Amino acid sequence: MMNKRGNVPLEEVIFVLVNLVFFSMLFFFVYNTSHSIFLTERLYAKEIALSIDSAKPGTQINIDISDLYKVASKNNFDINNAFYFKDNLVSVKVSQGEGYSYYYFTDYNIDSAVSFPEEGKAVLNIRVSENNGA
C-alpha cells in the first residue's frame, strides 16, 4: 500500500478559497442592498419623483419624511442636505454613501425645504413652478 498522508492538492485549496471569497462578496452585497438605508433612500426618491410628475405648476407637495429623518439622525447626517433636485433628477442621500437618484419626466422648477412641525416629525415641502428657462 501507498503511504497516504494528508496532502491536499493545491487545486482544492484554491477552489475553496475562491468559493469563500465569492460567497463573502455575495453576502456583503445582499446585506448592503437589503439594509434599511438603501431601501429608504430608494423609496423616498421614487415617491418624490412620482409626486412631481403628477403635479401641475403652482402645486405645493408635502411629504412626511419622519422615517428618513430618523435614519439621517442615526447617521449624523443633516436632513436639510438630504435632497437634491437638478436636471429632472431627484437625489436622496442620508448617509455617507452615494444615495439614490431617480429621474422624473416633467420639466419644472423645484424648490424644496424641510420643516419640523413637531418633535421627531419632519416634512419635505416641495414647490413646483413653471420652468421659464430654455
Tens of pLDDT, residues 14-51: 999 999 999 999 998 887 766 668 888 899 999 999 99
pLDDT of residue 116: 92
Measured CA distances, 41 to 13, 29, 89 (Å): 41, 17, 14
Higher per-residue pLDDT: 124 or 28: 124
* Confidence (pTM): 0.71
- How far is residue 31's CA from residue 61's CA, in Å, rounded to a whole number? 33
pLDDT of residue 31: 79
Residue 121 has pLDDT above 60, yes or no: yes
- Residue pLDDT, tens place only, 71-92: 888 888 888 889 999 999 999 9
Residue 124 has pLDDT above 90, yes or no: yes
